[in-house]
Amino acid sequence: MLDNSNVAPGKNKTLRCAIYTRKSHEEGLEQEFNSLDAQRESAEHYIEAQRMRGWAALPDRYDDGGFSGGNMERPGLRRLLADIDAGKIDVIVVYKVDRLSRSLLDFMKMIDLFNEKGVSFVSVTQHFSTTDPTGRMFLGILITFAQYEREVIAERIRDKVAAASAGENTAVACPSSDTTSTGITRSCWSTWMKPGRYSTSSAASSRSARPRNWARN
């Protein structure tokens, strides 16, 4: 579980907030004010609202335009993770969780790094924040599902190895319905990532965080 003592109210410490933005395709990136700019503007407004708690946006840009969220092979993300590892960041702010990752397992790998480095994570429009008890509770649920999926995958691999050792040529079949463990896990992940699904802030906060000229992508 994330240790968020560094963002506790009343601490006289400047919290360095890194804003990460991503867009899956390059369409529209040539515009003067594009989707990446809109995501950053939204995050900056959110950070400004936390100024009394010592939050301050870092000037460094961690942008990935034209990169899928299905893997971690992104230059902006690599720089972000490197700076986290170097102890240069206290809080990560994104517009939506899926901007950081669309893969549950990749997301949990990053959460492990955040925990190790004492870094907090905030999604502006979904009001998911590991700085409050509700956010940490849902993070715990995600960790449980991720661990369950890892164990099921490992079990399937062991079954296939055992079948191969026994001289069987037929691979272990996996049911095609969404009642498989992986299907259930991914369903929970997709449902949880829907904007506003588990809101811990008011609707007014959501409207104030939405940037001008926002275009979904």
Q: Read off the pLDDT of residues 114-126 as tens digits, 9 standing for 90 and up.
A: 989 999 999 898 7
30 versus 140: the higher-pLDDT residue is: 30
- Please tell me the distance from the alpha carbon of residue 121 to that of residue 130, in angstroms, as a whole number: 6
Q: 115, 1 in Cβ contact below 8 A? A: yes
Give residue 177's pLDDT: 45
- Compare 40 and 161 and report the one with higher pLDDT: 40
What is the structure's pLDDT at 102? 82
The pLDDT confidence band at residue 208, using thresholds 50, 70 and 90, is very low
Higher pLDDT, 174 or 22: 22
State the pLDDT confidence band at 46, using cuts at 50, 70 and 90: very high
- Is the pLDDT at 94 greater than 90? The verdict is yes
In this model, does residue 110 exceed pLDDT 80?
yes
> Which of 82, 134, 138 lies closest to 108 in space, CA to CA?
138
For the segment 44-68, the average pLDDT, to the nearest whole number, is: 95
pLDDT for the residue 19: 98
Listed by start position, the domains of the chain span: 5-132+196-209, 135-191
- Is 70 exceeded by the pLDDT of residue 195? no
* More reliable by pLDDT, 78 or 152: 78
Average predicted confidence (pLDDT) for the chain? 77
Residue pair 209/42 in contact (Cβ under 8 Å)? The answer is yes
Q: Class of 5-132+196-209 per CATH?
A: alpha beta
Report which secondary-structure segment, H or E, holds 57: strand 55-57
So what's the pLDDT on residue 77? 97
Task: Give pLDDT, residue 184.
Answer: 55
- Assigned token pair, 159: 């079954």
pLDDT per residue over 126-181, tens digit each? 777 777 777 777 767 766 776 677 688 888 888 888 888 876 555 444 444 444 55
pLDDT of residue 189: 59
Task: List, as one string, the DSSP characters of 8-28.
Answer: -TT----EEEEEEEEESS-TT
Give the C-alpha separation, 175 to 177, whole Å.
6
Rg of the Cα atoms in the chain: 19
